Structure 1
Amino acid sequence: MQKTLRLGLTGGIGSGKSTVAQMFVARGAALIDADQIARAVTGPGGAAMAAIAEAFGPEYVAPDGAMDRERMRRLAFSDPTARARLEAIVHPCVLHENERRARRAMEQGSALILFDVPLLVESGHWERRLDGVLVVDCKVETQIERVMLRNGLARATVEAIIAAQATREARRGAADVVIYNDDGVTLADLQRQVAQTLQCLGL
């Protein structure tokens, strides 16, 4: 029986990571989205909510029972210890759900499970759970231009988001596979890189 490959997918904001993820899914990969799971566990009735309310107080719980994301974002941005406390609550919940979904994908016969983790390099929680790391890479200036255009954010805001993430060099240093997605790279070019990656993985 073929071993299921567990590949971490990451990339800076605006790198095109989500586009690449969907190309892998179209070719049969199972996708597990860590951000989507994090939103679920901090949503109404989410697995992390009781501990968040206890650790931070009821004012950090919105009327619908979800985490008040804007209030928590302001706190976490201004207070690194608060961010660490939040991560200590949320990360175990996310990892537990990741593994539950991974087991289900394996039972369904998936040859490749793609873990979409935006902060994979930063987290330090992932290395032992993965067979390899795939990074979607582009120049920082390309990231800035794409996110300004897509989200309507000011340049300084985008630069602050990028500064809070791992550097391009750190991500490339952690990569087993790099998919390059800068200006001039077409969707057809990306498809070819995805196909080549799967071929190299024997899939």
Structure 2
Amino acid sequence: MLLGLTGSIATGKSTVAEMLKRRGAVVVDADQVARKVVEPGSLGLNRIKETFGSEMLTADGQLDRAKLGELVFADEEARLRLNALLHPLIMDEMKRMTAESLDKNPKSIVIWDVPLLIEENLTQFVEQVIVVYVPQAIQLKRLMERNHLTKTEAIKRMQSQLSIEEKKKVADYIIDNSGSLEETERQVDQLWRYLTLKSGSDQP
């Protein structure tokens, strides 16, 4: 069974991913895979060097994330070129990790943890979608507190993504993370019981 997990900034997606992992889910984290495909000596890093120049690497051959970030945030065309270089590598690795898990245990519950699951149209690759939701007023408050942002700065970051209300419409399952951690845990427990029953999984 393969599901997609997503949310929006400061809704608590990573917290829910960790809860699912503790219960036995195989979590394939898109952000971790994105880092893996640009490790020294990798095809991804070589592609970045060929496309954007060796100045995107540090003296010891690592990706200079700050420098690359400055470039792609200021230049939309560069961002699209970077995505075209790396997205196929990220997708191939996520599919490989998924196939490996399901080969080992066909009843595994695999979760793709992807911030832009809906925006990048990756829902086509998963069976169902879990959205971690909080109302936008709570999202704004948590983002301001967590990242020490002004209200204007936080709103700007929220508006750079598809709104959580739009993502909610795509969800097969919603985890409402606006209450206490205990309340979120209860919802995750309920979802996990349902998924294990549905998959025929022998996991507890």
Counterpart AA for 1:60 = M
Count the aligned residue pairs. Answer: 196
**CA–CA distance in structure 1, aligned partners of residues 7 and 48 of structure 2:** 28
CA distance in 2, matches of 1:52, 1:81: 14
Long gaps (5+) in structure 1? none
Which of 77, 91, 109 aligns to 1:112? It is 109
**Counterparts in 2 of 1:173-192, with a 5 A limit?**
173-182=169-178, 185-192=179-186
- CA shift for structure 1 position 142: 1.9
Q: Does residue 1:85 correspond to 2:72, yes or no?
A: no
- Corresponding residue for 2:201? none
Alignment of 1:2-151 (within 5 A): 5-109=1-105, 110-124=107-121, 126-151=122-147
| Partner in structure 2 of residue 169 of structure 1 | 165
SS of the residue 1:123 aligns to? coil
Q: Name the SS for the 1:76 alignment partner.
A: helix
Shift of residue 11, structure 1, vs aligned partner: 0.6
Distance 1:193 1:93 in 2: 34
What are the ranges of 5 or more consecutive residues in structure 2 without an aligned counterpart? 199-204
In structure 1, distance between residues paired with 2:151 and 2:43: 36
Report the alpha carbon displacement of residue 154 of structure 1 after superposing the two structures with TM. Answer: 4.0
Residues 44 and 64, structure 1, Cα contact 8 Å, conserved in 2: no
Q: Using the alignment, how far apart are the partners of 1:107 and 1:157 within structure 2?
A: 45
In structure 2, the partner of 1:159 is 155
Q: CA offsets, 1:101-126, max 9 Å, x none?
A: 112211231521010001111112x1
Question: Given residue 111 of structure 1, which amino acid in structure 2 is its aligned partner?
Answer: S
Contact 1:11 1:136 (8 Å CA) reproduced: yes
Whether the 8 Å contact between 1:136 and 1:180 is mirrored in structure 2 is yes
Given that residues 35 and 117 in structure 1 are in contact (C-alpha distance below 8 angstroms), is that contact kept between their aligned partners in structure 2?
A: yes
After TM superposition, the score normalised by the length of structure 1 is 0.88
Map of 2:188 onto structure 1: 194
Which letter does structure 1 place at the counterpart of 2:17? Answer: A
User: Residues 43, 153 of structure 1: CA spacing in aligned structure 2 closer, same or farther, 3 A cutoff?
Assistant: farther
Going from structure 1 to structure 2, the CA distance change for 1:38 and 1:193 (only over 3 Å counts) comes to same
Superposition TM-score, scaled by structure 2 size: 0.88
CA-atom RMSD, angstroms? 1.7
Instruction: Tell me the amino acid that sits aligned with residue 119 of structure 2.
Output: E
